[in-house]
Amino acid sequence: LSENDILFLSKALTFWDRLNSEEKELITKNLASIKYKKGEAIHRGENDCIGLFVVKSGTVRTYLMSEEGKEVTLYRLFERDVCVLSASCIIKNITFDVNIDAESECEILLINSSVFFELVQKNIYIENFSYKIAVDRFSDVIWAMEQILFMSFDKRLATFLIDEATNNNDDTISLTHEQIAKYMGSAREVVSRMLKYFANEGTVELLRGGVKILDKSKLRYLLK
């Protein structure tokens, strides 16, 4: 690990200044830097408990999956965000399990479960940080829930397209209708129907394996 990684970590983990030198050493000696390809699984539900990680680069997607394979995206994490649901075996009152995928090429810095367990036991500020991060995600999840349950589908799809374009800094969204449906916890037919409607209005252009936004102001108008 480079000096830069340690510096990066110390900024992401806001409890850093509360650590004694022994605890700092425990982290830096055991820290792993791991790369994932786009679409690769980082954490798989109840069978996994990799530990706490910080996103060094790329985008990470956290989602629920039903027994039938239906997915609902809960939130995304970006550079310097901390993931604690991947250490749910340590934070005992997180009684649910999520899936975590690399949405783009990713690199993470991982503090494995056994080291994390030792730290949480020793230092109240680390436990506190972990709960705090979990509560941040709680807020994200309520937002997602309100979107899914309360927002009409045209608004949701408009929000999704704008967010994707903004995140990738590209008005062409390279996702199939099937993939969009999966990310939105919806059905392909529903997505296709609405995209066709948007295309007829001149808001988007449908491409092979993607969607191009032609008129962002029309999408934004839907959200008013």
Q: Residue 100: which of 116, 115, 81 has the closest Cα?
A: 81
Give the residues across from 33 on adjacent strands.
Answer: 109
- Report in angstroms how near the CB of residue 156 gets to a copy of itself at its nearest: 13
User: What residues line the site for a copy of itself (CB under 8 A)?
Assistant: 64, 66-68, 70, 72, 91, 93-96, 124-125, 127-128, 131-132, 134-139, 141-143, 145-146, 148-150, 185
Q: Specify the residue, 42 or 98, whose C-beta has the smaller distance to a copy of itself.
A: 98
- Report in angstroms how near the CB of residue 42 gets to a copy of itself at its nearest: 19
Q: Specify the residue, 128 or 168, whose C-beta has the smaller distance to a copy of itself.
A: 128
- Report in angstroms how near the CB of residue 157 gets to a copy of itself at its nearest: 17
Q: Specify the residue, 33 or 139, whose C-beta has the smaller distance to a copy of itself.
A: 139
- Report in angstroms how near the CB of residue 129 gets to a copy of itself at its nearest: 9
Cβ atoms within 10 A of the Cβ of 70, count?
Answer: 14
Return d(Cα 202, Cα 19) in angstroms, integer: 56
- Report in angstroms how near the CB of residue 97 gets to a copy of itself at its nearest: 9
Label residues 114-132 b or e (16+ Cβ within 10 Å = b): ebbbbbbeebebbbebbbe
Q: Which residue's entry shows tokens 């295309």?
A: 199
Q: Specify the residue, 6 or 94, whose C-beta has the smaller distance to a copy of itself.
A: 94
The separation between the first and the last C-alpha atoms of the chain, rounded to the nearest angstrom, is 48
Q: Residue 15: which of 143, 141, 116, 142 has the closest Cα?
A: 116
Q: Specify the residue, 91 or 111, whose C-beta has the smaller distance to a copy of itself.
A: 91
